[in-house]
Structures are given as structure tokens and as C-alpha cells.
Amino acid sequence: MNVQTIFSALSDPTRFAIVEQLLEKGDQTAGSLAEPFDISKPAISRHLKVLEEAGVIERRIDRQFRSFRVRPQSMRSLDDWIGRYRRFWQTSFDRLEKVLQDKKEEENTDADRD
């Protein structure tokens, strides 16, 4: 599961919204996914294809129903990616917080001096 590809797939506002929709409401057909948007069905269809090829969603054909759903693996990949760097950004976040705090205090002191 290529994380960079997932980012690309979610870089479009419509696709991002589609995925949020699926995450919140669960499986849905292409038609109902298209409904909230002001763009044509073919356009939605193509967005769905992009998401599918990136492995973000999958098409499910179950008897008379065809619907889409988010592939949990893709979310897990994103989660893993962020997690892999968590200690870097989290520690640097803490460190940064402190630095900014110190700096602010320092500046205030300077200001007070002036």
C-alpha cells in the first residue's frame, strides 16, 4: 500500500469528501455518492476509479447491489506512516512548544526593556 499514492488520491476535494462520506456513513453506491456534488456522474465515476486504483476504496458487487467502501488497510497505512514519524514530530512538537515559549518570554522581556 503506497502512502504517497494515497495522498495523491485524497488531494482532490471531491475525492476527499467522498472518502469522508464513506467513512461516516458506510458503504454507498456510486449514485448516492454523486448526489451531494454539483458535478456529473461521469466525473464522480472517474474519481471513484482513482480512489479505487490507489487502494483507498473498493468496489463491492454483491448480488444486485454494487457499492463502494473504504479499504481499512489504506487508513491503516496512513496511520502507520504518521506513526512511524510520531516520535520525531511529537518530540519536536514538545521541544518547539518550549522554544516558542522561551522565545516569547524573551521577546516580552526585551520589549519591556525598550
Partner DNA sequence: GTGTTATTTAACAAATGAGGCAAATAATGA
Partner DNA sequence: TCATTATTTGCCTCATTTGTTAAATAACAC
Q: Which residues 68-107 are close enough to bind a second copy by CB under 8 A?
A: 69-70, 72-73, 75-76, 78-79, 82, 85-86, 88-90, 92-93, 96
CA atoms of 30 and 32, how far apart (whole Å): 6
| Segment interacting with a second copy, rule: CB under 8 A, options 35-43, 45-53, 67-75, 105-113 | 67-75
Q: Residue 28 gets which letter from DSSP? A: B
Q: Which is nearer to a second copy, 30 or 78 (CB)?
A: 78
- Long-range contact list for 47-51, CB < 8 A, 24+ apart? 47/12, 47/14, 47/15, 47/18, 48/18, 50/9, 50/12, 50/15, 51/9, 51/15, 51/18, 51/19
Q: Which is nearer to DNA, 34 or 93 (CB)?
A: 34
Judged by the rule CB under 8 A, the positions of this chain that interact with a second copy are: 3-4, 7-8, 10-13, 16, 20, 23-24, 26, 69-70, 72-73, 75-76, 78-79, 82, 85-86, 88-90, 92-93, 96
